[in-house]
Amino acid sequence: MGDAIVVAVRGRLDRAQYPRVKGYLLKCAAEAPTALVVELCAVQCADPIALSVFVTVAHQLAHWPGVVLRLVCGADSGAVAADSHLRRFLDVHATTDEALAAVSAPIRRVAGVELPNDHSALRIGRVFVRETLAGWGLDEFLHEGVLLASELVQNTIQHTLSAPAVRLEHRRGVLSVAVYDEDPAHPEPRSVEQARSRALHGLGLVANLAAAWGTSATPSGGKVVWATLRTSTTAAD
């Protein structure tokens, strides 16, 4: 985790490829790189609607894990025209080197811990979150951070046989609490939203407490469930 990830898209990019491209990019972003650079130089034909997948992904990554999406489209490539609407929403570069050079690594703090798949994980996880956030000077977010981590760890223990791994990150005024596991089954968004108004625990509580929350597949075949808290009213930390 930490370095920029470069993804090359080749061949024809049409609407049928939209879900596949979106899913793959979100998997890459689950590794929490400093940036996600997508090369489009070898795209032969691109449907303008299919290209909107990059705007969709960039919007989601802005919530979590705060990863910047950059496109690379050479002068001889017709994937992104000079007047394309993508240029209003995304950074488009002529070369991969240029895109990587434009990546400014934000000041960030990252910490993680692997937990057992039993109820001792809750105690260990709470101690880890308290000590980490206190060490980062985020004392006013201790209560919310511990609650989010506890509910996400509990969800893993209750619904999977996988050992949860907690990852905390603070950058650009956003604290993210993420729990990784190796079970591919994702929470059902509809059931979570139905429980929001009355939930005092579980993912309903997470949905009510967090600034944003969600779930993504990971390259290993598992998933990550994440939630964020805003620690600053500014974009930069």
pLDDT at 105: 61
The pLDDT value recorded for residue 76 is 62
0.85 exceeded by pTM: no
Task: Supply the pLDDT for residue 235.
Answer: 44
Cα atoms in the Cβ-side hemisphere of radius 13 Å centred on 30: 23
CA geometry: angle at 61 spanning 138 and 14, to 5°?
175
Delimit the domains of the chain by residue range. Answer: 5-101, 108-230
Position 82 scores a pLDDT of 62
pLDDT of 106 reads 64
Per-residue pLDDT of the chain (237 residues; tens, 9 = 90+): 558 999 999 988 899 999 999 999 999 999 888 889 999 988 877 788 888 999 999 988 888 888 889 999 876 666 776 667 777 788 889 999 999 988 876 677 899 999 999 989 999 999 999 999 999 999 999 999 999 999 999 999 999 999 999 999 998 889 999 999 999 988 766 555 555 555 666 788 888 899 999 899 998 899 999 999 999 854 444
Place domain 5-101 in its CATH homologous superfamily: STAS domain (3.30.750.24)
Please provide the CATH number assigned to the domain covering 108-230.
Answer: 3.30.565.10
Long-range CB contacts (< 8 A, 24+ apart) of 51-56?
51/13, 51/79, 51/80, 51/84, 51/86, 52/86, 53/18, 53/21, 53/22, 53/25, 54/86, 54/90, 55/86, 55/89, 55/90, 56/22
Are 80 and 51 in contact by the 8 Å Cβ rule? The answer is: yes
The backbone torsions φ and ψ at residue 84, rounded to the nearest 5 degrees and listed phi first, read: -65, 140
DSSP letter for each residue of 108-142: EEEEEEE--SSTHHHHHHHHHHHHHHHHTT-GGGH
pLDDT of residue 191: 53
pLDDT at 56: 92
